Structure 1
Amino acid sequence: MPSTPSVALIGIALLGNLVSGFSCGAPMPPLPTSSSSTFRLRNSMPPHHRTILSSYSTNYFYGRGNPLQHSPFASNNVLTIRGGALGASTSSSADDANKSSPAVVKDLNLTAGNILASLWGSCGVVYILVKAIKRVLPIALEPFSKNGGVVPLTQFQLAAYILTCLWFAYVEGYKGFQRKFSPLVVSRSFTLHPSSSPIHHVLLAPLYSMGLFHATKKRMIVSWSVSLGVATIVAAVKRLPYPWRNIVDAGVVFGLTWGTISILGGYIISLITGIAPIDVDPELPEKKTQ
């Protein structure tokens, strides 16, 4: 008897094949040409499905263009049959599903004004990070300075230096920035619209993109807590003796550099593709209903 993981993998594979059969990229297979088989197929279908079948058969067999263009489920060159039987999904139900699903891909409105506002939002955060890197980098490189007054690192301290850089690169750079903070910054920056957003949102776009205001209560608590926590840690690290302050600052440089690259990379990808970061909630406050 197969193990539970094997059964789960088989189930996932079967579901994947089922979904791919109804996806937009997969062409609809030819219908049977035999009159008896077509008759049996029609009799086994509900009346409204028979009408669709007749329309499809006419368009398919007599070469009237793409038969899916004449289908009531095709609208604006987008096929809305996905993950269900014929007639199970309409354009309105697909829109409702898109609104409730956090995994929906959002097309961006890339007008000149929106691009400038998002550029200021994302690149303003990048500017803040670059300034921090520029201020900390000389301290991080001090142990390797050629000046005679600098005490070289011992083997233990050098190992701690390398491990600290790797730890900050993973925890701060990858998990903190690339996986969470950077996509949030990019996603929120693209919600800025000069024509409709309040003027202070646009002027303070970097702070807006960081979620310091006009965000959900949870997001503002997290953003302000992280900002204040980082300021406290920076003040504490300044009191460390040589070379431990330099070692910690080296890790900070690695983490901030990773974060800077991830924000720039995510913004450029969204700008080129015209798609907002996938599965990222900008965590805007809910609009109050009248």
Structure 2
Amino acid sequence: MKFIAAIWGAFGVTFLVGKSCYSLFDYANKALQSGLSNYQWIILVLYSLFMLYFEGYKGFQKKFSPRTAARVHYLYMNPRPLHVILAPLFCMGYFHAKRKVRIAAIAISLLILCVIFLMGSVPQPWRGIIDIGVILGLSYGLISFGYFLIKVFTTKNHDISPEVPE
């Protein structure tokens, strides 16, 4: 049961983030194929660097990825039926997490939904430029999540907290 819980949790999180990257790819590709001006290329590069740093490094590598990987490991060590069934949501901190983690998970989800809604009105190539930055940040996040999964499962006493209630 614990092996299934960890696989389901890790796969579910990876799938959700990966699917987001995949769904944005067409918009990003259309922007690149539209023939960007020099000004738009500059914006693309600057925005991509911004997203790699703030979404990828600060958001994923420093917060989400280590905590989520630790929660996958916690689930492996402490499988409970409801946690196993809802493993991806458990691993992302939607429940059985410290209050701060739950609030952050819900707030970020609501923010993402608002951004998705607003992005529908952004014309090309700007939508694609924004999506390229998001894809880069999410891809960085997936790589860091994989790194931390390896770390928590191969290090005897990793120092990463799953931030579960005491």
Match of 1:164 in 2: 47
Check conservation: 1:123, 1:264, Cα contact below 8 A: no
Provide the residue aligned with 1:110 in structure 2: none
- Distance of 1:130 and 1:164 partners within structure 2: 20
Q: Does 1:218 align with 2:106?
A: no
Where do 5+ consecutive residues of structure 1 fail to align? 1-112
Distance 2:144 2:11 in 1: 12
Unaligned 5+ residue runs, structure 2? none
How many residues end up aligned between the 2 structures?
166
After superposition, residues 28-67 of structure 1 pair within 5 angstroms as none
- With normalisation by structure 2, the TM-score equals 0.92
Q: Is the 8 A contact 2:32 2:128 kept in 1?
A: no
State yes or no: 1:143 paired with 2:31.
yes
Partner of 1:114: 2
After superposition, the C-alpha distances for 1:114-167 in whole angstroms (9 at most, x for unaligned) are 34322221221011111111110121121233xxxx3x2110011101111111
Structure 1 residues 198 and 272: CA distance shift in structure 2, 3 A: closer
Q: 1:200 aligns to what?
A: 82
Match in the other structure for 1:131 = 19
Whole-Å separation in 2 of the counterparts to 1:256 and 1:193? 25
Q: 1:216 to 1:270 in 2, by over 3 A?
A: closer
Indicate if the aligned counterparts of 2:31 and 2:127 stay in contact, CA closer than 8 A.
Answer: no
2:134 and 2:127 map into 1 onto residues whose CA distance is 11
| 2:9/2:72 contact within 8 Å kept | yes
* Distance in 2 (alpha carbons) for counterparts of 1:258 and 1:275: 25
2:97 alignment partner, SS class: coil
Distance 1:121 1:163 in 2: 34
In the alignment, structure 1 residue 282 sits paired with structure 2 residue 162: yes
Q: Calculate percent identity across the aligned residue pairs.
A: 36
Equivalent pair of 2:73/2:152 in contact (CA under 8 Å)? no
Q: Does structure 1 retain, via aligned residues, the 8 Å contact 2:69–2:91?
A: yes
1:252 aligns with 2:140: no
The match for 1:38 is none
Structure with more relative contact order (C-alpha pairs < 8 Å, separation 6 or more): 2
Question: Is the contact between residue 121 and residue 189 of structure 1 (CA under 8 Å) also seen in structure 2?
Answer: yes
Kindly report the root-mean-square deviation, in angstroms, between the aligned alpha carbons of the 2 structures.
Answer: 1.6
Shift in Å, 1:193 = 4.4
CA distance in structure 2 between the aligned counterparts of 1:236 and 1:203, rounded to whole angstroms: 33
Q: State how far apart, in whole Å, the 1-side matches of 2:121 and 2:4 are.
A: 41
Q: Greater helix percent: which structure?
A: 2
Deviation of the 1:269 alpha carbon: 2.5
In the alignment, residue 164 of structure 1 is paired with which amino acid?
Answer: Y
Structure with the greater alpha carbon radius of gyration: 1
Residue 188 (structure 1) aligns with = 71
Q: Which residue of 2 aligns with 1:54?
A: none
Which 4+ stretches in 1 moved above 6 angstroms?
none
Please say if residues 114 and 190 of structure 1, whose CA atoms lie closer than 8 Å, have aligned partners that are also in contact. no
Query: Which residue of the partner structure matches residue 143 of structure 2?
Result: 261
